[in-house]
Structure 1
Amino acid sequence: MKYRVLGQTGLKVSVVGVGTWQFGGEWGRSYERQEVNAILGKAKELGINLIDTAECYGDHLSESLIGEAIQGNRLDWIVATKFGHHFHRHFDRTDVFEPKDVIHQLELSLKSLKTDYIDLYQFHSGPDAAFDQEELWNVLSRQVQAGKIRHLGISIGSNENIHQTSQATKVKAGAIQVVYNRLDRKPEKEVFPSCIEQNLGVLARVPLASGLLSGKYKPGAKFASDDVRSRRDADQLDRQIQEAEAIRNDEVPQGTDMAAWALAWCLKHPAVTSVIPGCKDVAQVEANAAAVELVEAGHRQDA
């Protein structure tokens, strides 16, 4: 495994992490405790030390499964979670960004994760009006001082949200999370230059474009109703699959696994610290980790 420094936070994170939205049950299946134990156990074995989760991947369900899995080796992990939404049922959430409610969410996350601190606590895809609450950041800063949060971050909802990105240092956030992959390069225009200027860490989410850059799907692909991808426009999905096929034919070296190539492609950008792909099983953890073989040294955040 290779490691980089997550910008201002100083955290040393593996360049490949584990995204855990799937543990909440919105990617076509549910997870049992032993399955999560196996996935995270394999990740640790491979040198992965970064887990990204959220309050609304289930009603703290993903966090609870993670908490059970890592309670015996908590110090070996960098745990990133988020705040700002209340989960009602699959694909149904409401925004909850009032400061007192965020503190309640924090306590629920700490309890679910079976820990007394969160390494990176991220504003979760909220509107600018919620982000601009000065009292919210004052309250969070006090939680940092209390030791319940090590570092603050911002998971921007739109991958072109320069307003929140540009204010990161002001609100004492040290990292940005953003959608970035070979099919979606919008952050390169404004978000990434701002991250570099402020020395922010960057977590690239959806680095495999929801699996489309794995090379497994063909136009006309259908997803189960309990899979979040079933909610996407079918024509747009087909166009992206066709674009992914063209990338595989034109850009991916022959004999190279496309998913590993796609993760390494993200990690080449000087702004990107780590990628956080989801993984449905142990085999996908291994496949994701294999991307490090394609990652060259010389990145500005190399640890």
Structure 2
Amino acid sequence: MKYRKLGKTGFNVSEISLGTWQVGGRWGEPFNEKTAEEIVHSAIDAGVNFIDTADVYSDGQSEAAVARVVKERSEEVILATKCGRQIQPHTSEGYTPERLTHFVEESLRNMNLETLDLIQLHCPPTEVYTRPEIFETFDRLKEQGKIRNLGVSVELVDEALLAMKYPNVTTVQVIFNMFRLKPSEQLFQVARENNVGLIVRVPLASGLLTGKMSPDTTFNPQDHRAFNRQGEAFDKGETFSGVDFEVGLEAVEKLKTLFPGQEPLAAWALRWILMFPEVSTVIPGASRPEQIASNLHAAELPALSAAQMEGVKAVYEQYLKPEVHQQW
């Protein structure tokens, strides 16, 4: 495992880590505590030392399972969680210092911790980024020893740029993959200049970039890939990176021609992300322990050639850029 600096947190984190949106069960399926613990153990066994969760993942069960496993281990593992999505309706007015303090304290209880390594605002409305009192709240929480670092998880590149104006923002979590190139054009340089760590989520575009889907692929009705394609429940950019499913399948077939051989497209999609030195870590999910090994194998692949990098960009510009570039 290789490690990279996570911005001004000072942490050195595994370049491929673990996101836990669907840990312990596929999207739409019940949470399975035993499976969740097996996945986390497998990740730590393989050298993963950064795990990202959230208070709303399986109603806190993900937070609790991750923390329970980490407490059983001797390795130092950095735990990141997120708060804010419990606010319904999810509006800027719902974000208050009191409410956010309560969420942090709830996560501490849920994870049986005294201090959170990294707490992230969980894709708040854009207006929240213009409210200094929200960010000042986390300075007080740090003074009280309840958190070590503040980060933000964003939908929009513009939100990330607003967030980085606050000195206490140490990390930005953003969607970045072969179907979402805008962050590399407008965000990465600013993050580097501000020593802000970049955490990449949705690296496989909700599975589209595995190369295993077809027009006949079906999804559990409770799976966001079935019900959120047009943003019915939350930002549609979280589902297939906002890409039309059929168009995404066409683009995937073009991408496959750039990477002939035995390795699956998913591995190359993760390796492509690691080609960007500004990225601190990428956090693919896993619903089974064996997926950990296949995710981490991507870091062992050779660097992409200049022709392959240009090829990915060309596919994006032909199939995806007109629809997705300006939306996020």
Paired residues of 1:64 and 1:112 also in contact (CA < 8 A): yes
Match of 2:200 in 1: 204
Q: Check conservation: 2:219, 2:225, Cα contact below 8 A.
A: yes
Q: Which amino acid aligns with 1:182?
A: M
What letter is aligned with 2:129? F
Structure with more strand by fraction: 1
Q: Is the 8 A contact 1:50 1:78 kept in 2?
A: yes
Equivalent residue, structure 2, for 1:70: 70
**Contact 1:54–1:82, Cα closer than 8 Å, also in 2:** yes
Cross-structure match for 1:100: 98
Matched, 1:195 2:191: yes
> Matched residues, percent identical?
34
Distance 1:274 1:205 in 2: 9
In the aligned structure 2, how far is the partner of 1:136 from the partner of 1:74? 35
CA distance in 2, matches of 1:109, 1:284: 27
> How does 1:191-270 map onto structure 2 within 5 Å?
191-231=187-227, 232-233=229-230, 236-249=244-257, 251-270=258-277
Mean alpha-carbon deviation: is it higher for 253-262 or for 22-31?
22-31
Indicate the RMSD between aligned Cα atoms, in angstroms: 2.1
Alignment CA distance shift 1:32-1:107 (3 Å): same
- 1:153 maps to 151
Aligned residue for 1:33? 33
Residue in 2 that maps onto 1:143:
141
2:192 aligned with 1:181, yes or no? no
Partner Cα separation in structure 2 for residue 46 and residue 61 of structure 1: 23
Which residue of structure 2 lines up, in the alignment, with residue 54 of structure 1? 54
Paired letter, 1:175: T
Is the CA contact 2:23–2:39 (under 8 Å) kept in the aligned structure 1?
Answer: no
The count of residues paired between Structure 1 and Structure 2 equals 289
Unaligned ranges ≥5, structure 2: 231-239, 304-328
Aligned counterpart, 1:18: 18
C-alpha contact (below 8 Å) 2:135/2:166 kept by paired residues: no
Residue identity in the other structure for 1:208: L
Task: Give the conservation status (yes or no) of the 8 Å contact 2:6–2:280.
Answer: yes
Change (3 A) 1:64 1:38: same
**Residues 25 and 44 (structure 1), Cα distance of their counterparts in 2 relative to 1, 3 Å cut:** closer
Q: Offset at 1:55?
A: 1.7
Cα distance in 2 for partners of 1:145, 1:295 equals 44
Give the superposition deviation at 1:47.
0.2
**Cα shift readout 1:25-63 (whole Å, capped 9, x = no counterpart):** 671312322111110111011000111111221322221
Structure number with the higher helix fraction is: 2
Query: What CA deviation, in whole Å up to 9, does each residue of 1:233-260 have, x standing for no partner?
Result: 59911111221121012x2241222211
Contact 2:273 2:279 in 1 (8 A): yes
The alpha-carbon deviation at position 87 of structure 1 amounts to 7.1
Q: Unaligned 5+ residue runs, structure 1? A: 297-303
- 1:169 deviation in Å? 4.8
Partner secondary structure for residue 202 of structure 1? strand
> Where does residue 299 of structure 1 map in the other structure?
none
How many Å separate the matches in 1 of 2:24 and 2:224? Answer: 11
Match of 1:165 among 161, 164, 174: 161
Task: Determine the structure 2 residue equivalent to 1:124.
Answer: 122
Distance 2:186 2:289 in 1: 36
* Counterpart-to-counterpart distance in 1, 2:162 and 2:192: 11
